[in-house]
Amino acid sequence: MKRPSRNLSAVLTCAAFLLSGVAVAQPQPGEPADLAAAARAAEQSLHQSFANLQFEDFGPAPVKGPLFQASAGGRILYYAPQSDHLLFATIYDRNGVNLTALAQDASARKKLGALDPAQALSIGPPGAPTVIEFTDPDCPYCRALDRFWAAKAAEGKPVRRQIYFVSGIHPQAASKAEHILCSKDQAGAFRATYAGEAPRPLATCKEGAVRVVANAQAVKAMGISGTPTLILDGRVISGFQQAEIEAWLDEKLAPKKPPS
For the ranges 150-154, 171-175, 225-229, 243-247, the lowest mean pLDDT is seen at: 225-229
DSSP for 191-239?
A: HHHHTT---SSPP--HHHHHHHHHHHHHHHHHT--SSSEEEETTEEEES
List the domain boundaries for the chain.
Answer: 54-100, 115-253
Are 216 and 94 in contact, with CB atoms under 8 Å apart?
Answer: no
Q: State the pLDDT at residue 70.
A: 83
What is the tens place of the pLDDT at every residue in 194-203? Answer: 999 878 899 9
Q: Is pTM beyond 0.75 here? A: no
With a cut of 80, say whether residue 251 has pLDDT above it.
Answer: yes
88-146 per-position pLDDT tens digit: 888 888 888 888 878 877 777 777 777 889 999 999 999 999 999 999 999 999 999 99
In angstroms, the CA 258 to CA 250 distance is 18
Beta bridge partner(s), residue 16: 68
pLDDT attached to residue 186: 96
Q: Is 15 helix (H, G, I), strand (E, B) or coil?
A: strand
Check pLDDT > 70 for residue 4: no
Yes or no: is domain 115-253 CATH 3.40.30.10?
yes
Q: Taking Cα atoms as reference points, which of 39, 104, 97 lies closest to residue 78? A: 104
pLDDT for the residue 187: 96
156 pLDDT more than 90: yes
Q: What is the pLDDT of residue 101?
A: 79
The reported pLDDT for the residue numbered 121 is 97
**pLDDT: is 61 or 9 the higher one?**
61
Question: Is pLDDT at 86 greater than 80 in this prediction?
Answer: yes
How would residue 24 be classed by pLDDT, with cut points 50, 70 and 90?
A: very low
CA angle 254, 155, 231 (to 5 degrees): 60
Dmax of the chain from CA atoms? 76
Higher pLDDT, 211 or 253: 211
DSSP 62-93: S--S--EEEEETTEEEEEETTTTEEE----B-
Average pLDDT over residues 45-64: 79
For residue 236, pLDDT over 70 is answered with: yes
Mean pLDDT, residues 177-201 taken together = 94
